Amino acid sequence: MAFPRPKPTTVETLAMERANPPFNVRKLSIKMHGSEKALVLKEKFMAEIARHPAFKLSDIHDLSKDELRERTMEKFASMVYFVTNESLEVFTLRMQLIGIADPSFWTRFGVAYGLFLGALRSGATPNQLSYWIDRGVLGLNGVIGCFAMTELAHGSNVAGLETTATFDRETDEFIIHTPHLGATKWWIGGAASTATHAAVFAQMIVDGKQYGVKTFVTQLRDTKTFQLLPGVTIGDIGKKMGRDGIDNGYIQFTYVRVPRAHMLMKHTQVSRDGVVTEPPLAQLTYGALLGGRTSMVTDSSNSAKKALTIAVRYAAVRRQFAIGTNQLETQILDYPIHQRRLMPLVAQAIAIGFTGLKLTKMYEDMTQSLDTMDPSDLKETHATSAGLKAFCTWACLDTIDKCRQSCGGHGYSAYSNFPTMYADFAVQCTWEGDNTILSLQAGRSLVGAWGAAIKGKRLVSGVAYLNDRSILTAKSDSSLTLSDIKRAWNCVAANVIKKAAEEYVSHLKAGKSKEVAMEMCSQSRFIAAKVHTVGYIFTMFKEAVNEMEDSAETEVLRTVAKLYGLWQIEEQQGYFLKYGFFTAEQIDKVQTSVDALCAEIRVIAVPLVDAFALSDHILNSPLGRYDGSVYESYFSQVQAANPLPKEHPYFTRLIKPLLERQNVEMEDPEQVMGLDNELEEMEAERREATKGKEGKVRKEDY
Amino acid sequence: MAFPRPKPTTVETLAMERANPPFNVRKLSIKMHGSEKALVLKEKFMAEIARHPAFKLSDIHDLSKDELRERTMEKFASMVYFVTNESLEVFTLRMQLIGIADPSFWTRFGVAYGLFLGALRSGATPNQLSYWIDRGVLGLNGVIGCFAMTELAHGSNVAGLETTATFDRETDEFIIHTPHLGATKWWIGGAASTATHAAVFAQMIVDGKQYGVKTFVTQLRDTKTFQLLPGVTIGDIGKKMGRDGIDNGYIQFTYVRVPRAHMLMKHTQVSRDGVVTEPPLAQLTYGALLGGRTSMVTDSSNSAKKALTIAVRYAAVRRQFAIGTNQLETQILDYPIHQRRLMPLVAQAIAIGFTGLKLTKMYEDMTQSLDTMDPSDLKETHATSAGLKAFCTWACLDTIDKCRQSCGGHGYSAYSNFPTMYADFAVQCTWEGDNTILSLQAGRSLVGAWGAAIKGKRLVSGVAYLNDRSILTAKSDSSLTLSDIKRAWNCVAANVIKKAAEEYVSHLKAGKSKEVAMEMCSQSRFIAAKVHTVGYIFTMFKEAVNEMEDSAETEVLRTVAKLYGLWQIEEQQGYFLKYGFFTAEQIDKVQTSVDALCAEIRVIAVPLVDAFALSDHILNSPLGRYDGSVYESYFSQVQAANPLPKEHPYFTRLIKPLLERQNVEMEDPEQVMGLDNELEEMEAERREATKGKEGKVRKEDY
């Protein structure tokens, strides 16, 4: 007897799921990618890396940290080519795709290309910038930079950094110094084994006076020999939760001298005589932060879509338990609870995807008109993006783990790719601002917006609903349409923002400082940010759908939007009941509707995730194979990754002595136990007390 | 200048946190451990393993899978000594502690000792059992067993397993066979390189008739040479999310013959003539499952306490941002939002700990009276334990990740130990029943309990609140006392159970089968299980506190219980509003109370986690050092784990060519780009469209 497979096979089952979808998969895919060209480019990038040896993915789970580091560096060469030959837009799309395939590389490259270069762009004078460009900073030929901001004892509080840069008038140099262990530069990506230079953030001291944190380009290594320069101590900070392809390091400077001209002087200048000229206003770096957050929103959607493609395809082919007298076991995706586990997350990933597209557009427009914008508009967008970064990255991390759990035991295998995805993604909730702290920033801005609204100021679109005070007491028209859902979110968001603002004011009235009053209403600020952000995502999605012409694909997205909005209402139902937008009966109806929408989307689940357009190479998970051959692919990969050793590595040393040992101790336990009297007494008591229980079974067994 | 540290140092800060606690740390610790003896034993176990070379923990993050496997096996020898010399109770406490220190070993040992031996105990006849004990199964000398239940295509549905065991009358043997790939035994802990024998679960076929799944002890390897026996194919299933110290493997049987006597025949017997005698009723294995679940509830509490000890101590010594004109930055634990992040989780871990103690006691009593118990009582406890397993393991996994995030970037370092803890713990949400499926089982039982209650049956204690129908319309007395909170949970749990039961009945009335009707009310069953379980944990905690004499320690626990109950009400406020137990104003009061309780417990947070009594060795995290020397310890560990390589591993091959390369491509981009016309056209369009944006800055820079 060979190994017959049950019928229909997993491959046949997945083909059946794709038969006659009620919409055109490619058309839907184009909508989700923003344009046909973006999709075509993505397919091109996917094809390129699938064939590039450095981008091999199937073996990454079994590579050591050192092997991952080296593999990651191999990708550099293939990318510097594109960075110097593609338009920024195309290259951005390329990196966006690479970011889903290999987050480690994305970061390692991004440190040199994005962060270091970004520091130069935002901080250098035109002459300084061209100096560094001449040195090769753009093509990474001559200079590979890293971004030395965070320290062992300071992360969020950049103004509190303790590395010093003391001006030496005699030599026209700055002396970069790490005064104590806590001031060691820490987490510096690229420092351990890639970078030749660093943008060092340090407290500038001129004539004994401290001027705050400025940036100093400091050479770390000789570019010919890669030897560390005198006074520079660098170490590897080693294993991380994920992204081990990045060589994060620590740097200690011991009186390292850099020319005065290596201080970036676009804003603050220091003259040959040590005269410090400071800008009239602290420069706003909203733009730079916005770019990072926008890309993290998009990445949250893409990473969630990757996990969901795997989980949905697996759920479609995995069969477990037969219902009634069926011969064939049921596809787990047919269980209502499994639909409940995955369909809302699919809707959320799509909603965040459309939010990412809108945000990218907004960011592009903003970059263009940065100088002419109303600063308060910019501030509002900045705050909204803080909340989006926080709640979108949380949503994605949660999605990855829920997808893992939905695949049962196989989700725990490294080869499912969920473990690596989770570990790699987890840092997104922490870097570029801890999510909780960012949420509070968003909440602070909402409290401010409420204050402005009650003073009659017309607010920008994201918070414009606060201008209409009647929204506070709105009620559902029971229709649960997209409009009804939007009003629901606006109503509830306005109420929780109002609550936070009123708490803040009451603390002020009680004599607290603004700072302390803000801290005291933290929880309410957090809630305000959470509710506003979900409402914002829903609104972005709804707007995107409203802008589309009617079509089968638009209809699908409308259903998905409805599921997202109603499911989130269910998740946060307390606020909707508390502020009276929905009655208890209507909330029951929301639950029933979510059940029904999950069942409705389940029918098209496989073509829907197909429209995410992620190749098998990117998914890198046999469980999510496009063709459905999950068990065969999984088995092959496990075999390939785990060849049988010629000899058992430790049988003779460890197992054989166990198997062959005589249990002499058993003959005279007293002699060998050596517990003190009290413990023996206790055990005797316990033995007595447990007569006739498990212990007895064991005694009798001898 | 040396490296002066800021004052007060982290060590001084932590000492200050411990000055004059308003309770006795050891007395509180004893309460949380159930008895002084349990605490003393735990301290003894911790001291033993801290000095045992095989239990070295500080280097585990940098060990390869193969090194971890070998290290894990080294621990076996030290444990088989205790397994044969300690009472079951003492040994259980020992393994409970080991489980927190080294989950991989706990599992690898537990497979041989717990699962394989457990299969024999529950399935073998007395003669069979003594045969295997004579062969050395108890002391692991002669036989090391594994538990071959799950298959590649079957996990939850044990009855659907596809391995066959066909009786051969001629030779008086069973033929064990894997008919196809999906029937490959998969995930079998110990199979890859430890086990000599397996308890194989297979469909028994006698004379062409299939009798369902029975257990067959099958030898896998020669005990002298460790060579695989004929027909046995075993492979390693390789890397996992965590617990890489366990050698999970796959097994394929190709017509492997075992003597008929190796079938475990306590329940079903097969005679020499092939006559099958089946037991009158399917045997209930509630007892065995209960034991596993009880230990997972306890482990959830202990693992959460481990993560929280690290996070709370770190939050007490980490300073970030100065408030107002303070010179010294603020301890992050002093921020209300950070108290909100950690204090409720501390309360939850303690609540689950007391639930674990109660459950262990209940399980011990039950084991004693298993034969005389009312089967429906047993069933209820079984269902409650299913819900507890699900929601306690979820709560713990969530706690570990929240603790990681609360430590910012350093939480992402492997040396914080959070990444390993998360990866190791994650499987608890999946094994011994996927949490979602277990929740539905609990929900099914609650639906049944409701049905019984309305028929007037007096229910057992866990669900006895359903007997009092007036609870459905109860209202808060606004006191927010422990009694008020308990009534709140009973009220809401009764309502959500009633809703699930009514949905179920309505589907039955609409003509659905019981099975389908149960599936259709899945979401409501899930909610019923969730609300009931949290209420159950709160009730267990409250009862434990009520049983204590008044003391400063009891007072602390009462405050902790209040925080747990109110925080969970806040988390699930929708139900309390929906069923009218609390008004909107009262819910606001709940939020204010939670804020205040967090602040109250923050004051004692460090001594409180000290009472968890976890040694630095067990914590294995410099961030959680008892003495507060977090940065020094962290730095030392990072240095020790990452010695500088003598030579850069890939500078010459990969970095040097990059640094020295000439960007010839830049001189004639057209020649090298090779994009097709459409893409070039698109890029041209984009370039045009983005004039004056980022792209422009870049062009100008050349």
**Superfamily covering domain B142-281:** Butyryl-CoA Dehydrogenase, subunit A, domain 2 (2.40.110.10)
Query: Which two tokens mark B330?
Result: 């603020």
Dist. CA A391–CA B265, nearest whole Å: 56
CB within 8 Å: A654 and B77: yes
Which residues sit opposite A272 in a β-bridge? Answer: none
Nearest Cα of chain A lies from the Cα of B20 at a distance, in angstroms, of: 27
Q: Radius of gyration of chain B from Cα atoms?
A: 30
A58 contacts chain B (CB < 8 A):
no
Nearest C-alpha neighbor of B542 from the set B354, B416, B377:
B354
Out of B129, B409, B672, name the one closest to residue A150 (CB): B409
Percent of chain A with pLDDT over 90: 82
Instruction: Note which residues in 553-572 of chain A have CB less than 8 A from chain B.
Output: 572
**Partners of residue A660 in chain B, C-beta under 8 Å:** 141
Burial of B311 (0-12, 13-18, 19+ CB in 10 A): buried
CB within 8 Å: B523 and A595: yes
Q: Report yes or no for ipTM above 0.95.
A: no
Instruction: Check residue A546 and give its pLDDT.
Output: 97
Query: How many Cβ atoms from other residues are within 10 Å of residue A287's Cβ?
Result: 15
Closest-CA residue of chain B to A405: B430
Mean pLDDT, chain A, rounded, equals 92
Type of residue numbered A632? E
CB within 8 Å: B84 and A136: no
**Partners of residue B663 in chain A, C-beta under 8 Å:** 84, 139, 141
Coil, helix or strand at residue B369: coil
The b-or-e profile of A396-410 (16+ CB within 10 A means b, else e) is bbbbbbbbbbbbbbb
**Partners of residue A363 in chain B, C-beta under 8 Å:** none
Residue B10, marked binder: no
Is the pLDDT at B101 greater than 60? The verdict is: yes
Closest-CA residue of chain A to B87: A683
Per-residue confidence at B455, pLDDT binned at 50, 70, 90?
very high
Closest-CA residue of chain B to A523: B337
Nearest Cα of chain A lies from the Cα of B128 at a distance, in angstroms, of: 11
Dist. CA A549–CA A555, nearest whole Å: 10
A106-111 contacts, C-beta under 8 A, 24 or more apart: A107/A189, A107/A243, A107/A246, A108/A72, A108/A73, A108/A76, A108/A189, A108/A190, A108/A194, A108/A245, A108/A246, A108/A247, A109/A75, A109/A76, A109/A79, A111/A145, A111/A146, A111/A147, A111/A189, A111/A190, A111/A195, A111/A246
- How far out from the chain centre does Cα A444 lie? 23
Instruction: Check residue A669 and give its pLDDT.
Output: 40
Per-residue confidence at B339, pLDDT binned at 50, 70, 90?
very high
Dist. CA B554–CA B547, nearest whole Å: 10
Coil, helix or strand at residue A413: strand
Nearest Cα of chain A lies from the Cα of B342 at a distance, in angstroms, of: 12
For chain B, percent helix, then strand, then coil, each to nearest 5?
60, 10, 30
Is the pLDDT at A283 greater than 60? The verdict is: no
pLDDT tens-digit readout, B4-34: 556 899 999 999 999 999 999 999 999 999 9
Instruction: Check residue B694 and give its pLDDT.
Output: 39
**Partners of residue A242 in chain B, C-beta under 8 Å:** 412, 419
Out of A141, A182, A415, name the one closest to residue B631 (CB): A182
Residues A449 and A463 sit within 8 Å (Cβ to Cβ): yes
The b-or-e profile of B257-293 (16+ CB within 10 A means b, else e) is bbebbbbbbbbbebeeeeeeeeeeeeeeebeebbbbb
Dist. CA B96–CA B299, nearest whole Å: 7
Dist. CA B190–CA A681, nearest whole Å: 36
Instruction: Check residue A673 and give its pLDDT.
Output: 42
Closest-CA residue of chain B to A598: B523
Instruction: Check residue A202 and give its pLDDT.
Output: 97
Instruction: Note which residues in 31-50 of chain A have CB less than 8 A from chain B.
Output: 37, 40-41, 44
pLDDT tens-digit readout, B220-245: 999 999 999 999 999 999 999 999 99
**Partners of residue A337 in chain B, C-beta under 8 Å:** 436, 440, 519, 522-523, 526
pLDDT tens-digit readout, B657-688: 999 987 654 444 444 344 355 555 666 666 66
Q: Which residue has the tokens 């340090």?
A: A202
Q: Which of A175, A320, A586 to mutate to test the interface with B (most CBs of B within 10 A)?
A: A320
Residue B150, marked binder: yes
Nearest C-alpha neighbor of B347 from the set B100, B144, B600:
B600
CB within 8 Å: A701 and B133: yes
Residues A256 and A175 sit within 8 Å (Cβ to Cβ): yes
B90 contacts chain A (CB < 8 A):
yes
Dist. CA B150–CA B201, nearest whole Å: 8
Nearest Cα of chain B lies from the Cα of A539 at a distance, in angstroms, of: 23
Nearest C-alpha neighbor of B400 from the set B375, B378, B429, B373:
B429
Cis preceding linkage at A21, omega within 30: no
Percent of chain B with pLDDT over 70: 92
**Partners of residue B631 in chain A, C-beta under 8 Å:** 152-153, 181-182
pLDDT tens-digit readout, A100-157: 999 999 999 999 888 999 999 989 999 999 999 999 998 888 999 999 999 999 988 8
Nearest Cα of chain A lies from the Cα of B119 at a distance, in angstroms, of: 14
Nearest Cα of chain A lies from the Cα of B156 at a distance, in angstroms, of: 7
Q: Which residues of A are catalytic?
A: 432
Look up residue A142 and give its DSSP letter. S
Instruction: Check residue B366 and give its pLDDT.
Output: 80
Nearest Cα of chain A lies from the Cα of B413 at a distance, in angstroms, of: 4
- How far out from the chain centre does Cα B170 lie? 48
Instruction: Check residue A682 and give its pLDDT.
Output: 60
State how far the alpha carbon of B433 is from the alpha carbons of A409, B104, B389, B390, in Å. Answer: 10, 19, 9, 9
As a whole number, mean pLDDT of residues B391-415 equals: 98
Backbone angles phi, psi at B420, to 5 degrees: -65, -40
**Partners of residue B1 in chain A, C-beta under 8 Å:** 177, 179
Instruction: Check residue A326 and give its pLDDT.
Output: 79
Query: How many Cβ atoms from other residues are within 10 Å of residue B510's Cβ?
Result: 10
Q: Which residue has the tokens 């009053």?
A: A517
Backbone angles phi, psi at A235, to 5 degrees: -135, 165
B239 contacts chain A (CB < 8 A):
yes
Residues B582 and B576 sit within 8 Å (Cβ to Cβ): yes
Instruction: Note which residues in 257-316 of chain B have CB less than 8 A from chain A.
Output: none
Dist. CA A186–CA A161, nearest whole Å: 11
CA trace torsion A667, A673, A674, A677 (10° rounding): -100
Number of A/B CB contacts below 8 angstroms equals 458
Dist. CA B667–CA B673, nearest whole Å: 12
B511 contacts chain A (CB < 8 A):
no
> Whole-model pTM above 0.90?
yes
pLDDT tens-digit readout, B559-612: 999 999 999 999 999 999 999 999 999 999 999 999 999 999 999 999 999 999
Type of residue numbered A562? K
Dist. CA B452–CA B458, nearest whole Å: 8
With a CB cutoff of 8 Å and minimum separation 6, the contacts of A389 are: A292, A293, A296, A297, A432, A433, A435, A438
Nearest Cα of chain A lies from the Cα of B664 at a distance, in angstroms, of: 10
pLDDT tens-digit readout, B302-320: 999 999 999 999 999 999 9
Out of A3, A61, A644, name the one closest to residue B235 (CB): A644
CB within 8 Å: A658 and B141: yes
Dist. CA A684–CA A675, nearest whole Å: 12
Look up B432 and say whether it is catalytic: yes
Instruction: Check residue B365 and give its pLDDT.
Output: 84
CB within 8 Å: B156 and A84: no
B592 contacts chain A (CB < 8 A):
no
With a CB cutoff of 8 Å and minimum separation 6, the contacts of B31 are: B548, B553, B554, B557
Per-residue confidence at A388, pLDDT binned at 50, 70, 90?
very high
As a whole number, mean pLDDT of residues B689-693 equals: 51
Nearest C-alpha neighbor of B302 from the set B353, B362, B242:
B353
Cis preceding linkage at A649, omega within 30: no
**Partners of residue A90 in chain B, C-beta under 8 Å:** 679, 683, 686
Q: pLDDT: is B668 or A536 the higher one? A: A536
pLDDT tens-digit readout, B508-567: 999 999 999 999 999 999 999 999 999 999 999 999 999 999 999 999 999 999 999 999
Out of B66, B182, B574, name the one closest to residue A631 (CB): B182
As a whole number, mean pLDDT of residues A26-51 equals: 97
Percent of chain A with pLDDT over 70: 92
Instruction: Check residue A340 and give its pLDDT.
Output: 98
Is the pLDDT at A307 greater than 50? The verdict is: yes
Out of B70, B240, B335, name the one closest to residue A414 (CB): B240
CB within 8 Å: A181 and B157: no
Instruction: Check residue A280 and give its pLDDT.
Output: 75
Question: Domain coordinates of chain A in residue numbers?
Answer: 142-281
Q: Which of B405, B579, B582 to mutate to test the interface with A (most CBs of A within 10 A)?
A: B405
Out of B513, B522, B638, name the one closest to residue A237 (CB): B638
Query: Which two tokens mark B224?
Result: 């002298």
A511 contacts chain B (CB < 8 A):
no
- How far out from the chain centre does Cα B428 lie? 3
Instruction: Note which residues in 217-236 of chain B have CB less than 8 A from chain A.
Output: 223, 226, 235-236
Out of A3, A238, A666, name the one closest to residue B641 (CB): A238
pLDDT tens-digit readout, B135-162: 999 888 899 999 999 999 998 888 999 9
CB within 8 Å: B337 and A523: yes
Residues B468 and B498 sit within 8 Å (Cβ to Cβ): no
Residues A243 and A422 sit within 8 Å (Cβ to Cβ): no
